[in-house]
Amino acid sequence: MRLDYYLANATAMSRKDAKQAISRGQVRIDGQPCRQAAHHVATGQHITLRGQPLSLPGERYLMLNKPAGVVSATTDRDHLTVLSLLPADQRSNLHVAGRLDIDTTGLVLLTTDGQWSHRVTSPKVECEKIYRVELAEPMTAEAEQAIETGLQLHNDARQTRPARVVAVAETVIELAITEGRYHQVKRMMAAVGNHVVALHRLQIGAIRLDPALAPGESRPLTGQEIQSVC
């Protein structure tokens, strides 16, 4: 979509005013001013007008507290899906921004906005995800250091990015990672000789799972949450 068209759609501005704001350098794409009204806005780009993040109207954004046994897909032959937990009139056109394993619980974001979800999941953006991890064995100081430095996962070419570990109890940690590789947390714990007993996502970027949501419950995101996610 052209930048002037995006701006006019995301605000109450006319196309003429949108073009003027663009030519004045008031519009930034991923932090860089863009003065070309015809510039094509790509999926996942972050657009601001005078420093304020923009999003297209009509999009929907929800958080869900995923219970265990539910898949993060939109359809599945054998299991309940996160979509099936939503009221029927809210399900259309939603997709998941960052999947969880079937046995992982906690925060799942759902949206109709492909640009927004791309931002949440793109490896380039490095949006932080925080998990509460229950372990089979206590976390050793060496394991913690390896996780915080970056470690080699089985069958992966690159090391993991540095992560943060906060001890909660002897066998419980909070782990913050900025990637979303396949079974990443479970594989990281296996790489340091431990095993995940239970995994729960607490936070994605600035969005914290609302403690008022029981497993299976959802609510729309606030404007502040939508704008500030990553």
Binding site for ligand URA (CB under 6 A): 100-101, 104, 183-186, 199
> Looking at beta carbons only, is 183 or 208 nearer to ligand URA?
183
Tokens of 56: 């297209």
Whether 101 is a known active-site residue: answer: yes
We find the least distance from the C-beta atom of residue 10 to ligand URA, in angstroms, to be: 32
* Least distance from ligand URA to the Cβ atom of residue 187, Å: 6
The catalytic residue among 101, 103, 113, 210 is: 101
Q: Which of 104, 109, 154 is nearest to 127 (CA)?
A: 109
CA distance linking residue 91 with residue 67, whole number of Å: 18
Task: Please give the structure tokens belonging to residue 135.
Answer: 């372990």
How far apart are alpha carbons 202 and 204 in whole angstroms? 7
Closest separation between CB of residue 222 and ligand URA, Å?
24
C-alpha closest to that of 173 among 152, 144, 204: 144
The pair of structure tokens assigned to 200 is 């729960």
| Positions marked active-site | 101
